[in-house]
Structure 1
Amino acid sequence: MIPVKGFARSLYKGAVINNLKFPFRLLKSVWIVKRLFTSIKPDLVIATGGYVSGVPGREAIRRKIPLYIQEQNAWPGITTKILVKHARMLFYAYEDVLPHLHIHPGTRLIQTPNPVRSTLKLTDKPSALNTWNLQNDRKTLFVFGGSQGSLNINREVSKYAEAWVKNLPLQILWQTGPRHYELMRKDFEKKDHIYLHPFIEDMGTAYAAADLIICRAGALTLAELEYVKKPAILIPLPSSAADHQFHNAKAFEKRGIAAVITENRFDEGALDQTVRQLIARPEILEDLINHFPETIEDGLSKIVQHIVEDLPF
């Protein structure tokens, strides 16, 4: 709805062009948001930390509209750092974020899990295995790099996939991403125990079938892992803003519910070693599972309840 884009922190050609356009996009966004606020007269504004929240957040401050922030990551972005000084409440998923913020004494701090999409439906494991034509006598490794897939993760997994399913009691459910599917299919479509999909819509059954997951460390992905209580090997996206995925992943690792491997460790064979260790020694995998809390709070309901009770009218 507004043309604002994040300010690039690198100096490659596209970043320079983006940054030169930034003031004009910002001014246009301010104009659109002012018109929108005048039209709909919002009673409150919820900012979720991304750069797109900046202009509406500042307009809420200017008009003295109650502002609430839901910070999803373990490392705050610039938008949250600016807006939090004027927020009535800060909802945060990771305690690690607090030392990096200058919080007004009047701002209430409420820790709550990130909301999970309502379309994520869980099922029992036998049904999930049947849905994906998987065997119940093998552990299931679920690999995905986000909805578009990750070429770097795909390449690294492809180095070891055949050896894993040959030497370990393992099968692989692998979302390659639409752009990378044909490349991967040429190598693996006729290989036993390796099941490729360009995109998986029914993530609930994929999670339910999994014993171990390899994925990125975006905030919403991690919220889903916690919701389904599945251990993971997290590979943070190196180009994420302020390296926030790395901080998210380390927060999970600190809690004992995930292992973290950065891409600069691929050459060491770190992914291969970690998968083999977790599958060959089930007690280590079980220990990760046991570190999940028995009950997971409903983050969405908690956020809504606190805001409704706080509204000053």
Structure 2
Amino acid sequence: MSVMNTEKKKLHIIFAGGGTGGHLFPAIAIYESISKKSMQKDFELKTLFIGSKSGVERSVLPELNLPTTYIPIKGFQRHFNIKNLLKNLILPLRILSSYFKCLFIFLKFKPDIVIGTGSYVSAIPLMVARHLKIPFFLQEQNVIPGWVTKYFSESAVTVFTSFQETSRYIKNTTYTGIPLRESLREIEKDEAANFFELDKDRKTIFIFGGSQGSIAINRYWETNILSYIDTLNCQFIWQTGIKDYFRLKEKFNGNNKIHLTPFIHEIEYAYSAADIVICRAGALTLAELSFFGKPSILIPLPIAAENHQEVNARLFEKINAARIVLQSELAGSKLFETISKIINDDNLLVEMGNNARKLYISSASNKIAESIIKYAEKNVWED
């Protein structure tokens, strides 16, 4: 007589990715979907996030009470100066230290699956996973895959891609769209404006240079923001990043038409309050713009690997969902002229927003979660 095994199924997953919000938030979105399915399918889920001590995850993950450990890795510095040269010289030591720390983490946590969402933060955990023969999945945000995705793609179970075009650059892909957090939801514009203590009847521009801010974008607005307010009768939500925040806060303190913040955890309020968004062109940002249906002016990061941000941005420009202003053009009048043509043309704002919404792909995180659980059913929980 056979005895039925009633022990609850277990799944241990390590999430590796961070440095910037563009790599961190897709990991969080995938975690949310798998966590929900663990309750629906009645299996015990144990997770661990591996991040960088210097990345945005240091402030975001504790807010979400997600189990996290940090490794001392930092990315290669592309700007040439003495400080960055010294950082690059000690990079091999950081890699070695991070590798052995990850090895210890893996042996203790015993993951069944590893999920990497790109950037330098994920490279070492993925290397350890490959050495220990632990299966791993990748999620690539951009049209042109980053070096981590390219390097590990052939060893991965699959690479979940945000764009169909990515299959031209690497094999072993599964097109899902980019996973977005469940917390993202559209909010009434009046409520969103009140959240930032702004005038609900005034046109609102949301500006940010990524999760860590942008020196170039901050410098431009530091010089020009007051003239925009006077000329266009508008107001601003400005995510500065932590480095410039306190200096800019002191400079613009008391101006009720500028809401300054180093980082916005409730990003849905910023998008919902905005009539137009001025930002970088990372894939996560573009996915959020399409989710909220927001017109945008995109300023691609010029040092992005293989110029992938401009490649991303051209897809939005092609369908009239966005305008592009290169960072090199900030010295001239192009950005002011572009905003002036759009901000008070309600028909154009609606048209661009609707075009952006056409690019939104729903349920990406759910598709990824389903795929990973199906893999676990066949390869982790098999009798």
Deviation of the 1:21 alpha carbon:
2.5
Q: How far does residue 141 in structure 1 lie from its aligned partner after superposition?
A: 1.2
| Structure-1 separation of matches of 2:125 and 2:242 | 34
Paired amino acid for 2:363: D
TM-score, length basis structure 2: 0.71
Q: CA separation of 1:294/1:248 partners in 2, compared to 1, >3 Å: closer, same or farther? A: closer
Deviation (angstroms), 1:81: 0.8
Matching residue's letter, 1:137: D
- How far 1:188 sits from its partner (Å)? 4.4
2:61 maps to what in 1? none
2:207 is matched with which residue: 115, 138, 143? Answer: 143
- Aligned counterpart in structure 2 of residue 18 of structure 1, from 78, 81, 87: 87
Distance 2:212 2:74 in 1: 20
Whether the 8 Å CA contact 1:234–1:249 is kept in 2: the answer is yes
Shift of 1:147: 4.3
- Give, in angstroms, the shift of residue 82 of structure 1: 0.9
Instruction: Using the TM superposition, give the Cα deviation of residue 242 of structure 1 relative to its aligned residue in structure 2, in angstroms.
Output: 4.1
Aligned to 1:310: 375
Residue in structure 2 matched with residue 79 of structure 1 by the alignment: 148
Q: Which residue of 2 aligns with 1:92?
A: 161
Determine which of 312, 320, 332 is the counterpart of 1:268: 332
SS in 2 for 1:135: coil
Specify whether residues 179 and 31 from structure 1 end up closer, same or farther in structure 2 by C-alpha distance, changes over 3 A only: closer
Select which of 122, 125, 144 maps to 2:186.
Answer: 122
CA distance, structure 2, for counterparts of residue 27 and residue 179 of structure 1: 29
Judged with a 3 Å threshold, the aligned counterparts in structure 2 of structure 1 residues 172 and 3 are, in CA distance, closer, same or farther, namely: closer
- 8 Å CA contact retained: 1:207, 1:230: yes
Q: What is the CA-CA distance between 1:185 and the residue it aligns to? A: 4.9
What is the CA–CA distance in structure 2 between the aligned matches of 1:161 and 1:10, rounded to whole Å?
27
The number of residue pairs the alignment matches comes to 308
Aligned residue in 2 for 1:301? 366
Q: Alpha-carbon deviations, 1:55-76, whole Å to 9, x = none?
A: 2223333333222110112222
Does residue 136 of structure 2 align to residue 67 of structure 1?
yes
Choose 51-60 or 155-164, whichever is displaced more.
155-164
Note the C-alpha offset of 1:290. 1.6
With over 3 angstroms needed to count, the CA separation of the structure-2 counterparts of 1:86 and 1:158, relative to structure 1, is same
Distance in 2 (alpha carbons) for counterparts of 1:57 and 1:294: 31
Indicate how the Cα distance of structure 1 residues 256 and 93 shifts in structure 2: closer, same or farther if over 3 A, else same. farther
1:254 has 2:323 as partner: no
| Partner SS for 1:68 | strand
One-letter amino acid of the structure 2 residue matched with residue 85 of structure 1: E
Measured in 2, the distance between the counterparts of 1:295 and 1:9 equals 32
Contact 2:290 2:359 survives alignment (8 Å):
no
SS in 2 for 1:140: strand
Partner of 1:175: 239
Alpha-carbon spacing, 1:63–1:173, altered in 2? closer, same or farther (3 Å): closer
Q: How far has the Cα of 1:261 moved from its partner? A: 1.2
Cα pair distance change 1:17/1:98, threshold 3 Å: farther
Residue of structure 1 equivalent to 2:290: 226
- Of 348, 355, 358, 1:284 maps to 348
Tell me, in whole angstroms, the C-alpha distance in 2 between the residues paired with 1:36 and 1:282: 54
Seen in structure 2, the aligned counterparts of structure 1 residues 64 and 10 have a Cα distance that, compared at 3 Å, is same
Deviates more, 1:270-279 or 1:183-192: 183-192
2: CA distance between counterparts of 1:223 and 1:152?
A: 23
Q: TM-score, normalised by structure 1?
A: 0.85
Which residue of 123, 126, 134 maps to 1:54? 123
Which of 220, 243, 247 pairs up with 1:156? Answer: 220
Alpha-carbon offset, residue 41 of structure 1: 2.3
Q: Which runs of 5+ in 2 are unaligned?
A: 1-69
- Quote the Cα distance in structure 1 between the aligned partners of 2:232 and 2:81: 44
Give the Å deviation of 1:297: 0.8
Look up the SS of the partner of 1:46 in the other structure.
Answer: strand
Listed one character per residue, the Cα deviations across residues 259-282 of structure 1 (whole Å, up to 9, x for unaligned) are 221110112311101100112333
The Cα of 1:183 is off from its aligned counterpart by 4.3
Q: Which runs of 5+ in 1 are unaligned?
A: none
Pairwise CA distance, 1:42:
1.6
Q: Give the conservation status (yes or no) of the 8 Å contact 2:178–2:287.
A: yes
Alpha-carbon distance change, 203 to 53 in structure 1, aligned in 2, over 3 angstroms: closer
Q: How far apart are the structure 2 equivalents of 1:99 and 1:295? A: 21
Counterparts in 2 of 1:85 and 1:294: CA distance versus 1, 3 Å: closer
- Check whether the contact 1:96–1:251 (CA below 8 A) recurs between aligned residues: no
In the alignment, the residues of structure 2 paired with residue 171 and residue 178 of structure 1 have an alpha-carbon distance, to the nearest angstrom, of 21
Moved more, 247-256 or 276-285: 247-256
Change in Cα spacing, 1:125 to 1:11, as seen in structure 2 (3 Å) is: closer
The answer to whether the 8 Å contact 1:94/1:251 transfers is no
Which residue of 2 is the match for residue 111 of structure 1?
Answer: 175
Query: How big is the shift at 1:8?
Result: 4.1
Cα distance in 1 for residues equivalent to 2:238 and 2:96:
43
Distance 2:262 2:137 in 1: 37
